[in-house]
Amino acid sequence: MDKFVIKGPSKVKGTVDISGSKNASLPILAASILFDESVEINNLPKVKDIDTMLLLIQSLGFKIKKNKKKNSVKIIKTKNIHTFAPYSLVKTMRAGILVLGPLVTKFKKAKTSLPGGCLIGARPINYHLNALEKLGMVYKIEKGYVHASSHSNLKGAKIIFPKISVGATENAILASVLASGKTILKNCAIEPEIKHDLTNFLNKAGAKVTWTGKRTVEIIGVKSLKKISYTVMGDRIECGTFCVVATISQGNLKIKGFDAKLIKTELNLLKRVGAKIKTYKNLISIIGPKKIKNIKLIETKEYDGFPTDLQAQFMSLLCKANGKSIISESIFENRFMHVAELRRLGAKITIKNNKANIFGNTNFQGAELMSSDLRASVALVLASIVANGTSVINRIYHLDRGYESIEKKLSKIGVDIKRVS
Ligand code: UD1
């Protein structure tokens, strides 16, 4: 199993190119199931979750032509379509459940593995199933699989999500695009990957998806979608992570390929801890402060609040602040896996319920560490960059699920990092 060896401390300097967004690419790839004609998707990030989604779509019977130079794929429907999403693929990546809505609306049946829980929380799919049921899908759950079907076309309906869910919003939009009549979805997730990228992609292909309120979207079903070539947006969480890299290490970075307007909440917090930030079109220039200021309370929220996917990275940062900070996690019930590992580097953090008290002024000392999930792992990388001495981070396959060539990008800006197989 690969590990990273990082020798700190380093101050980063230079330019970083942000890769395509993983969380925008996944529902867009799932959407390719809705098409009879070919779909070309550009700027896909080279990460494991994307490979898994491509394998899943291929296993359904679609032909995938990769163009590695352009980071793009062409997905072509064949005559042999299956509607079975196996456990072996869905277990490693929860977004596998996003094929359920497209399969049922397009082919009127699907057998998809339940994704199961994961370390950060139980992560059920009840909102996905309830929304699709309202559109006319019938289903039963047997031996770990959702067996779903619909007798005729799915039919537009009014659905109010009881709680905001990114995946359930995406699944419901994808299913409604080819349903007959009008669907109204209320209390939707409005992450840019949905409200901006998935919506633009579908509408460019001829769908009729209109946001009529902050969290309300109306979809008029169409019969079919047109051939399309689409370039996905930059990765919001990768961009936020590199902003933290610059801030934590007194760094000086130019971060290219992401629209700063979409991460205002995060950039305002980084300004509050002392970072100097200038934004231009698709470019963020960020200089880390000599002394990092504490923040009384950060609470993770649905977009446009502070993202849970940057919680762990900000915790590493606040360990270096000049006083106590609190981070409250309100999206997932068990997302403090990184705390025990940060403590091994010297962090002083206590946890009570969903709140972490971070007691600042930490001089991290290199140590051997274990990755537990994608974002927790990158938080350990950030702390190791500014730690004195050598850190070894084990099980970095978690990082490979969502960060493209992170060691290459970090080496280029001055971090002493090696991958050891
Ligand atoms: C997506 C993101 C993930 C991010 C998360 C929250 C992708 C591929 N993944 O995950 O990186 O951390 O949004 O921003 O885009 N819930 C239910 N029942 C459901 C669905 C969700 O109870 O049917 C709960 C979840 O357990 C969680 C909360 O709702 O507590 C939010 O989850 P959701 O927004 O659905 O996250 P994902 O789509 O899985």
Ligand 1 atom having least distance to the Cα of 125: 23
Q: What is the pLDDT of residue 116?
A: 65
Ligand 1 atom having least distance to the Cα of 333: 30
Q: Is the CB of 94 under 6 A from ligand 1?
A: yes
pLDDT band at 281 (very low <50, low <70, confident <90, very high): very high
Question: Domain 22-231 has what CATH class?
Answer: alpha beta
Residue 141, pLDDT > 60, answer yes
SS (H, E, C) 241-269: HHHHHHHHCCCEEEEECCCHHHHHHHHHH
Q: Give residue 421 CA to ligand 1 midpoint distance, Å.
A: 32
Q: Give residue 6 CA to ligand 1 midpoint distance, Å.
A: 32
Measured CA distances, 31 to 24, 27, 99, 146, 341 (Å): 11, 6, 8, 19, 38
Read off the pLDDT of residues 33-80 as tens digits, 9 standing for 90 and up.
999 999 999 999 999 999 999 999 999 999 999 998 889 999 999 999
Q: 195: which DSSP letter? A: I
Read off the pLDDT of residues 245-260 as tens digits, 9 standing for 90 and up.
999 999 999 999 999 9
Q: Is the CB of 163 under 6 A from ligand 1?
A: yes
CATH number of 3-19+234-420: 3.65.10.10
pLDDT band at 380 (very low <50, low <70, confident <90, very high): very high
Q: Are 98 and 174 in contact (CB under 8 A)?
A: yes
Q: Give residue 368 CA to ligand 1 midpoint distance, Å.
A: 31
Q: Give residue 187 CA to ligand 1 midpoint distance, Å.
A: 14
Read off the pLDDT of residues 92-136 as tens digits, 9 standing for 90 and up.
888 999 999 999 999 999 999 998 656 766 678 999 999 999 999
133, 331, 373: residue to mutate for ligand 1 pocket, most atoms within 8 A of CB: 331
165, 174, 235: residue to mutate for ligand 1 pocket, most atoms within 8 A of CB: 165
Q: Quick check: do 3-19+234-420 and 22-231 share a fold?
A: yes
Residue from 25, 7, 415, 27 nearest 241 by CA: 415
Q: What is the pLDDT of residue 120?
A: 66
Q: What is the pLDDT of residue 333?
A: 85
pTM of the entire predicted model: 0.97
Q: Is the CB of 26 under 6 A from ligand 1?
A: yes
* Chain mean pLDDT for the chain: 96
Q: Which amino acid is at 375?
A: R
3-class secondary-structure state, position 111? strand
Q: What is the pLDDT of residue 68?
A: 85
Q: Is the CB of 13 under 6 A from ligand 1?
A: no
User: Where do the domains of the chain lie?
Assistant: 3-19+234-420, 22-231
Q: What is the pLDDT of residue 69?
A: 80
- The arithmetic mean of pLDDT across residues 25-31, rounded, is 98
Q: Whose CA is nearest to atom 5 of ligand 1?
A: 166
Residue 392, pLDDT > 60, answer yes
Read off the pLDDT of residues 199-245 as tens digits, 9 standing for 90 and up.
999 999 999 999 999 999 999 999 999 999 999 999 999 999 999 99
Alpha helix stretches (DSSP H) within 91-125: 100-107
Percent of the chain residues past pLDDT 90, beyond the cut: 93
Q: Is the CB of 93 under 6 A from ligand 1?
A: no
Number of residues written out for the chain = 421
Q: How far apart are CA 411 and CA 305, in angstroms?
A: 31
Q: Whose CA is nearest to atom 39 of ligand 1?
A: 167
Read off the pLDDT of residues 336-365 as tens digits, 9 standing for 90 and up.
999 999 999 999 999 999 999 999 999 999
Q: Give residue 11 CA to ligand 1 midpoint distance, Å.
A: 34
Read off the pLDDT of residues 78-95 as tens digits, 9 standing for 90 and up.
999 999 999 999 988 889
Q: Is 118 a catalytic residue?
A: yes
Residue from 210, 208, 207 nearest 225 by CA: 207
